Amino acid sequence: MARKKHTVEQIISKLREAEVALSKGQTVLQVCRTLGVTEQTYYRWRQEYGGLKVDQAKLLKDLERENTRLKRAVADLTLDKLILKEAAEGNFS
């Protein structure tokens, strides 16, 4: 089965649909079949996006992207620092 990439808006919409269906007495398995996702995916989405609004989820994703970019920059700068330190000490093999 091919994997689908859902947008944040789609995930939040499906979680709201699931909440409505669950409140009407359907089981999680039935809801997942209706949404076209596995139970594992449903629980992962609920853990990550449960209770968030669309704008909050977008902000979360933007912050995660920025955090990744900054971590990469710190790693690059640390590597440069170590190379310069080694060159300054003259520890060439």
- What is the per-residue pLDDT across 46-81, written as a single tens digit (0 to 9) for each? 998 888 788 888 888 899 999 999 999 999 999 999
pLDDT digit string (tens) for 9-38?
889 899 999 999 999 999 999 999 999 999
Q: Is 50 within 8 Å of 92 (Cβ atoms)?
A: no
Residues 6+ apart with CB under 8 A from 57: 8, 9, 11, 12, 49
